[in-house]
Structure 1
Amino acid sequence: MVIASLGEVVAVYRSRAALDPSHVAERAGISIDQYLALEQGTAWPGTEAVKAVIDVLQLPDSHRARLAAADAPVDKYLQRMLHGYDIPVLIVDSAWRNVEANRFARALLPDSVLPGWNLMRWVLFDGEARRRLANWDDVARVFAGVLRDAVTASPRNAELLAIREEAAQLGLSVASSPRACPDGPVFVWRTDSGAYPISACLLSTPSGRPDLRQVMFVPRSTQPVPVLMADQSSPAPWYGPLLTDLLSCGLCGLLLTSAHLPATYSCATGCLPELPADDLELRIAKKALTRAFPAQACRELGIAQEILTADGIEMKLNVPVSPQHALDQWRRSMTNTQRRGILTTTLRSATVYPAPGRNGSPGVDLAYNWRELT
């Protein structure tokens, strides 16, 4: 038997010891939810919890050396990847302290070179963060939710508990983070002149280091693309792949690239199988159209179209009467410019994870980070 994950290792040793999950959790001094998250691989329950489970199940040293990786230095392979990026990337520990940052991250966040610098603390408490982030309220709200989840995963982590206490004293609401937004918020950086640059904060777990998080600040285009446009004000045509700059790999954090003939999306490091573009775009479109055109929105768009038509303004595309109608238009009559507009106005990003496909073939799961529609 080839054991591919920590959860599978733990499950095997628990079965050999003839213990129920609740018994292991009780002996390890953790909650049953933490233990099940570890064994089922649904979440990282915290380094302390993993160490306690490993001790309870008496895993041999050969497994401990590979699995109990907390506080180990970043290996050379991970360093090469980190410093090979041409965008700001840093690696943080379970308490969000900086472990290592590339030169672009150090330029973006100069204080990150200081010993013990903490990204969570910087976002929530540092006056510089309030000054530089035009959308600080939104970013702080999301990070407060991330803090809550981190404390749940590591309830005895002194650094996280201190941050939570300080957040409470300042009146910051430590609410749960949205499960549909694993990549965190968009950062809008203030500048002294010109347009504010925008970057998406993408999170991933480095291979072999479940105790760490890789944080990438991926530039995002600031050019608005309307969904349905009248002839008088059409946007520039979109000729590229529809999901450009919207897809990231859930294993290494890289943006997926596209190739033509046949059209596919793939990860540069080979984490994922090549994904047929048509299938993936339609799969994401079904989700995006459901969000973009709920019943109430369709009714309001219909009224708006009647008003525009009465004023002599013709729409390139009749507004849909339902999400299913919108999907039919997507397939039959929408241009790529209109399709791209719908995607970019509803979706911030989608994270792609490997998963079993049909008949045992490789497949993927998707986690979505949606925009708030007004």
Structure 2
Amino acid sequence: MFGSTVAEHLAAYRHRLGLEADQVAHAAGLGVERYRLLEEGTGWPGTRAFHAVLDALHIQGPQRDTFAFPGTPLDPLEQQFLTGNSNQVWLHLDHGWTVVAAGDAVPATAVPLPEPGDNFLRWLLCDPDLPGRLLNHEALAAAARHALRTAAVADPDHPALRALRALREQFPDDDPDVAPASRALDRTNWIWRTPEGPYLVWQAISLRPSFRPDVRFLFFQADEKTSAPSPTRPPQAAAVPAPAGQPAGNWRAGDPVLAGLLLCGHCHQTMIAPAETAAYQCPDHCISLAAEQATDRVGTVLTARLFTEESVRKLALAQEMILAAGIDMAHPLPVNARHALHQWRHSMTDTVRRGFATEQIASVTVAPGPAPELTVLWRDSTHTTA
């Protein structure tokens, strides 16, 4: 956001005249949204449109000199003021996100940033190499789409933004319920994949100088501490959330994984599992089911439900971020449903399996018969046959 010399002063002049924002926008020949972005300090409309706003607010003479901006590029003194004492990676952009100048302190392990003359948003959205090099490219691309739409509304006449019109139409609108602040490129983390495996983590800081609201600076704060999993650190016990809707004390280590979840399909009583039988039994002896078989069948449908292609992809990204932060993991996250089922059968503790089951399952009904059918009632009230 640029400073009070522009955004807040414009609002003060408007209130002094007793005008609404839409009245000023109409008098200046601008759309209401375009004027709102200017008055909020989030979008520069271009020099001609800004002068039309000054005319609509009757700002003339010495008062108008306060808003005299020389335009891009920055003169040497301004450039020195903003970047002269910085050893960070930085980009100087105009209000249409075109790179005007760039610092040369780019770490060798990082992906090269766009050069002067390139458009930063086009690079972030269209460079074919970035999705494979940027670990969190999807989130950054969503922020770039939001920035592109905002900039295009603020100044539809900007040459680079006109050239990107087809690009704007190519991408669908993001979820309107997502808060705009969460889609901003300011203070976003940039996590690069490197050939060696560790990652260089950056945070991008967006700066709009109050004395130059027509430009933007992106400073990349680099954390050059790379990390890799430590083979010497002992595994940590996995944390398991308390079962939803069920007191934590209802289940103890040593109890069967599905204790309290299985219902007899004949009399609808909760099945019990005496330790000496290793089987779940109806109290009225309607049906009996081996505990190992029940756990395996429920685990098969549970892992298929939880570890879909989309959820596994997100888990993989999360795992890479965790490792990039230097945090060891006791167990690798599954890469697909089959891998998850293998972990369920061979490496998950009963406590972990119990946590997964009680978080997702309301009950499992066991139908009597030579080959008992299991019907899983999920906590979202849907059913699955196991």
Normalising by the smaller structure, the TM-score range is 0.5 to 0.7
Matched with 2:200 is: 197
Matched with 2:31 is: 31
Matched with 2:71 is: 71
Matched with 2:136 is: 135
1:288-339, Cα deviation, whole Å (9 max, x unpaired): xxxxxxxxx9754897976997379xxxxxxxxxxxxxxxxxxxxxxxxxxx
Q: TM-score when scaled to structure 1?
A: 0.52
**Partner secondary structure for residue 153 of structure 2:** helix
Letter of the structure 1 residue corresponding to residue 27 of structure 2: R
Query: Post-superposition shift, 1:215?
Result: 1.0
Letter of the structure 2 residue corresponding to residue 46 of structure 1: P
Measure, in 2, the Cα distance between the counterparts of 1:204 and 1:84. 15
**Partner secondary structure for residue 156 of structure 2:** coil
Measure, in 2, the Cα distance between the counterparts of 1:105 and 1:125. 21
Q: Is this contact kept in 2: 1:144–1:173, CA < 8 A?
A: no
Matched with 2:45 is: 46
> Which of 183-192 and 64-73 deviates more?
64-73
Query: Post-superposition shift, 1:123?
Result: 0.7
**Partner secondary structure for residue 204 of structure 2:** strand
Measure, in 2, the Cα distance between the counterparts of 1:31 and 1:309. 65
**Partner secondary structure for residue 127 of structure 1:** coil
Matched with 2:172 is: 173
Matched with 1:310 is: 253
Matched with 1:214 is: 217
Query: Post-superposition shift, 1:122?
Result: 0.8
| Larger relative helix fraction | 1
Q: Is this contact kept in 2: 1:35–1:45, CA < 8 A?
A: no
**Partner secondary structure for residue 92 of structure 1:** strand
Change (3 A) 1:189 1:12: closer
Q: Is this contact kept in 1: 2:5–2:211, CA < 8 A?
A: no
- Note the 1:255-266 alignment, pairs <5 A: none
Q: Does 1:188 align with 2:191?
A: yes
> Which of 46-55 and 89-98 deviates more?
46-55
- Identity across the alignment (%): 27
Matched with 1:5 is: 5
Letter of the structure 2 residue corresponding to residue 197 of structure 1: L
Measure, in 1, the Cα distance between the counterparts of 2:26 and 2:195. 55
Q: Is this contact kept in 2: 1:51–1:68, CA < 8 A?
A: no
Change (3 A) 1:149 1:4: closer
Change (3 A) 1:204 1:111: closer
Matched with 1:21 is: 21
Matched with 1:97 is: 98
Query: Post-superposition shift, 1:94?
Result: 1.1
- Note the 1:219-368 alignment, pairs <5 A: 219-220=222-223, 233=236, 299-300=242-243, 310=253
Measure, in 1, the Cα distance between the counterparts of 2:194 and 2:22. 53
Unaligned runs of 5+ in 2: 229-233, 256-320, 326-386
1:83-122, Cα deviation, whole Å (9 max, x unpaired): 42232111211111112221124965656444x1111111
Query: Post-superposition shift, 1:59?
Result: 2.3
Q: Does 1:153 align with 2:96?
A: no
Query: Post-superposition shift, 1:24?
Result: 1.6
Measure, in 2, the Cα distance between the counterparts of 1:6 and 1:96. 20
Q: Is this contact kept in 1: 2:90–2:102, CA < 8 A?
A: yes
Larger radius of gyration: 2
